[in-house]
Chains A and B, each alone.
Chain A
């Protein structure tokens, strides 16, 4: 299963599952990154990390290593 970290810039994908330690996973889920949620990488920070992603009409900054814990599928 591809992860959000591997997703090309701008491509719209859907969250399949969030992995990683429990507290990490719960935080992302509680912020609304639940399975089925559309997500998209908007830009990458000038130094290559973190990523700027769009979720539910808002934008977050998330580190690449954390995005690698988010499994996605193409829409």
Chain B
């Protein structure tokens, strides 16, 4: 069956028969929403690993698959795509993986998922893979959903010229047959199958561009055998996708040799439509006779009548988002507290065993504290990926984009940016990870650049302390100010998105269509959702966690060393030893801690930056707090607790700390912190990027230092200027 049903025997038959390699490389391609991930999980089982493609924000999953006879093959899951005509990073990956460009070896076979309810559209991608010379096997998915509408596998095999296997990943039906089909296909000769013939106008163009293909791109180099029709397909891809560079935002992101680009530019436009129309003409002729009736969408239609309804749709949208928000904000809190307490307890136990000393402090405060700083994110991240996986799987996430697109678009954000923005009220770290649900890199990065502006839960203790200590007025006034800070953050994030999409070149809106599929509603596969949740979360721990841990230790050292106090300091050991009672002893210890912090590198840094933050109304003590807050914003509170010698365990509701702040006097005898300074401080915390975890995750997700540096710089500058305007403007108006 492998050879007999092939079309076009005259075109592109390469008489090659490479031996099956010891560990064949397979890729899994397919449109979005065709059950590709479910099939991937079923085929690879527990061997699947999630990671990012190096350098770009696209997830990659790979795993091992056992073929009949015990041979192990590596299976790589590709991003869901409708075409290999690359424009976005995702499509480029699909193309590179199918044909073996950009360092990736050519796969020995490609499994193409074809949705039985959308055969023609899914087969379009298959046609492209066949033209490129991939050995293809079709996994026909969603057969149960298509019901009587599903075409028969044997009829499809005859038409498509490659093996077609019906699979139902959930019940594991067809998996063994698919493995056997892959094994047979691996042994077949490699051919480039074209179901249509280039016309008289296209033919000479293909020849001209094919000549310009670099040697490493030719089938001879990639497949180990010349295959003229496969080279034609790559020439067709170049003709279709490459355009002269204009320097504008609509330029493609493709990296190709200049000679090839020049050869394409020499051919007159239009260059692309003939192939697309010819493939569709073939599909529209061959596929409809095999599909007995249109797929039944009545159940999805009934649900959409409610979930996309003018009133009921928004009500249910708000309900779903409230549950998501509450779970991140409230449900995760007790677990996060427990993790926090657990690490504190472990630290105390260790301290008890090891006794006082620098090494103990390093282990307890630096290492265990740092690991705690990473682990504390885990509940929120697990919950977020659980929700996102569930919503994506059942088809609702596409509806969120449909409902919210109008609002998000007005700020040049993607409709799917809504969920990350909402998540960032809890924490920017899971929010940045949630940008993965968007397909385009530009949309993801723009969203990553603005979510750290939203009022995350770590800012709350700072606001609570500042409002409680410095802002006079009734609880109502204080409460309103807190609400105001939330609104302020939403407005700044949206405006920042709009401004950046107009000014920052890589973030400018490209004129790509916002066409997203609204897939039929499906029951989520809990096993798959749980596995992906764990895969993505452990990737966070592995890759962002290590950076956060390293930064935590560095910051601890900054605020800990040097240990010796200047000559002028009192002899605290003697003071503690001769203290008449416990209170005096505690006071002496707190004083010693404060002096040590002031003398530390971090403390000196606080002094050093005082001239820069003086115009905002801040003194060096707040400067030390700002340095400490880089570990996590809430650390600002405990750092001030040490600076003001009320103890490092002071929290935002601590009365001694509030009183200390309220009564603090400068050398001129005036109050250090007026209400205006409090406002300036809150604005600074709202806008500044004082969160190394955010920066570590952005670095991880964007694959480089460029975006985290940009994020830190623009937020810091924005925070400084805005606080400056608030403080100096307020003084001019006579406040403070």
Q: Are A23 and B124 in contact (CB under 8 A)?
A: no
Indicate if A7 sits at the interface (CB-CB under 8 A).
no
Q: Write out the residue numbers on chain A whose beta carbons fall within 8 Å of the beta carbon of B276.
A: 26, 29-30, 34
Docked pose: A61 CA to B408 CA in angstroms: 15
Indicate if B516 sits at the interface (CB-CB under 8 A).
yes
Contact surface of A with B, Cβ cutoff 8 Å: 20-32, 34-36, 43, 45-50, 52, 56-63, 66
Q: Write out the residue numbers on chain A whose beta carbons fall within 8 Å of the beta carbon of B117.
A: 57-58
Q: Are B295 and A57 in contact (CB under 8 A)?
A: yes
> Quick one: closest B residue to A33, CB to CB?
B515
Q: Are A57 and B516 in contact (CB under 8 A)?
A: no
Name the one of B273, B284, B308 contacting A52, with C-beta atoms under 8 angstroms. Answer: B308
Docked pose: A48 CA to B313 CA in angstroms: 14
Q: Are A28 and B402 in contact (CB under 8 A)?
A: no
Q: Say yes or no: A47-B121 contact (C-beta < 8 A), given A24-B513, A31-B515, A59-B517.
A: no
Q: Are A61 and B314 in contact (CB under 8 A)?
A: no
Docked pose: A43 CA to B309 CA in angstroms: 9
Name the one of B87, B405, B511, B517 contacting A58, with C-beta atoms under 8 angstroms. Answer: B517
Q: Write out the residue numbers on chain A whose beta carbons fall within 8 Å of the beta carbon of B314.
A: 46
Q: Say yes or no: A31-B406 contact (C-beta < 8 A), given A23-B87, A56-B118, A56-B120.
A: no
Chain B 79-134 residues near chain A, CB threshold 8 A: 82-83, 85, 87, 117-118, 120-121, 124
Indicate if B514 sits at the interface (CB-CB under 8 A).
yes
> Quick one: closest B residue to A23, CB to CB?
B87
Q: List 29 A-B contacts (CB under 8 A).
A: A20-B511, A21-B511, A23-B512, A24-B511, A27-B87, A28-B513, A29-B276, A30-B83, A30-B85, A31-B121, A31-B515, A32-B280, A35-B277, A43-B308, A45-B402, A45-B403, A47-B406, A47-B407, A50-B402, A50-B514, A52-B308, A52-B402, A60-B518, A61-B401, A61-B405, A61-B515, A61-B516, A66-B514, A66-B515
Q: Write out the residue numbers on chain B whose beta carbons fall within 8 Å of the beta carbon of A35.
A: 277
Docked pose: A34 CA to B590 CA in angstroms: 76
Indicate if B297 sits at the interface (CB-CB under 8 A).
yes
**Chain B interface size, under 10 / 10 to 19 / 20 to 34 / 35 or more:** 35 or more
Q: Write out the residue numbers on chain B whose beta carbons fall within 8 Å of the beta carbon of A49.
A: 405-406, 409
Q: Write out the residue numbers on chain B whose beta carbons fall within 8 Å of the beta carbon of A23.
A: 87, 250, 252, 511-512
Q: Write out the residue numbers on chain B whose beta carbons fall within 8 Å of the beta carbon of A60.
A: 515-518
Q: Write out the residue numbers on chain B whose beta carbons fall within 8 Å of the beta carbon of A47.
A: 403, 406-407
Indicate if B240 sits at the interface (CB-CB under 8 A).
yes
> Quick one: closest A residue to B83, CB to CB?
A30
Name the one of A20, A26, A36, A46 contacting B403, with C-beta atoms under 8 angstroms. Answer: A46
> Quick one: closest B residue to A66, CB to CB?
B513
Give B406-418 as 1s and 0s: 1 = Cβ < 8 Å from A's Cβ atoms.
1101000000000
A-B contacts counted at CB < 8 A amount to: 117
Given contacts A43-B308, A47-B407, A57-B295, 4 further A-B contacts (CB under 8 A): A31-B82, A34-B276, A57-B118, A59-B518
Q: Write out the residue numbers on chain B whose beta carbons fall within 8 Å of the beta carbon of A59.
A: 297, 517-518
Indicate if B59 sits at the interface (CB-CB under 8 A).
no
Q: Are A30 and B124 in contact (CB under 8 A)?
A: yes
Docked pose: A26 CA to B407 CA in angstroms: 27
Contact surface of B with A, Cβ cutoff 8 Å: 82-83, 85, 87, 117-118, 120-121, 124, 240, 243, 250, 252, 269-270, 272-273, 276-277, 280, 284, 294-295, 297, 304, 308-310, 313-314, 398, 401-403, 405-407, 409, 511-519
Name the one of A21, A28, A43 contacting B515, with C-beta atoms under 8 angstroms. Answer: A28
Q: Write out the residue numbers on chain A whose beta carbons fall within 8 Å of the beta carbon of B309.
A: 46
Q: Write out the residue numbers on chain A whose beta carbons fall within 8 Å of the beta carbon of B513.
A: 24, 27-28, 62-63, 66
Q: Write out the residue numbers on chain B whose beta carbons fall within 8 Å of the beta carbon of A50.
A: 402, 405-406, 514
Name the one of A26, A28, A52 contacting B240, with C-beta atoms under 8 angstroms. Answer: A26
Q: Write out the residue numbers on chain A whose beta carbons fall within 8 Å of the beta carbon of B310.
A: 46
> Quick one: closest B residue to A36, CB to CB?
B284
Q: Are B511 and A61 in contact (CB under 8 A)?
A: no
Docked pose: A59 CA to B513 CA in angstroms: 15
Q: Write out the residue numbers on chain B whose beta carbons fall within 8 Å of the beta carbon of A52.
A: 308, 402, 518
Q: Are A62 and B515 in contact (CB under 8 A)?
A: yes
Q: Write out the residue numbers on chain A whose beta carbons fall within 8 Å of the beta carbon of B517.
A: 58-61
Q: Say yes or no: A61-B398 contact (C-beta < 8 A), given A24-B512, A45-B403, A50-B514.
A: yes
> Quick one: closest A residue to B84, CB to CB?
A30
8 closest A-B pairs by beta carbon, nearest first, are A47-B406, A61-B402, A59-B518, A30-B83, A34-B280, A46-B310, A29-B276, A57-B294
Docked pose: A25 CA to B309 CA in angstroms: 30
Docked pose: A52 CA to B310 CA in angstroms: 13
Chain A nearest CB from B114 CB (Å) reads: 14
Chain A nearest CB from B590 CB (Å) reads: 56
Q: Say yes or no: A58-B516 contact (C-beta < 8 A), given A21-B250, A32-B280, A46-B313.
A: no
> Quick one: closest B residue to A57, CB to CB?
B294
Q: Write out the residue numbers on chain B whose beta carbons fall within 8 Å of the beta carbon of A66.
A: 513-515
Chain A nearest CB from B306 CB (Å) reads: 12
Q: Are B118 and A58 in contact (CB under 8 A)?
A: yes
Name the one of A30, A58, A63 contacting B409, with C-beta atoms under 8 angstroms. Answer: A63
Docked pose: A30 CA to B269 CA in angstroms: 18
Docked pose: A32 CA to B117 CA in angstroms: 14
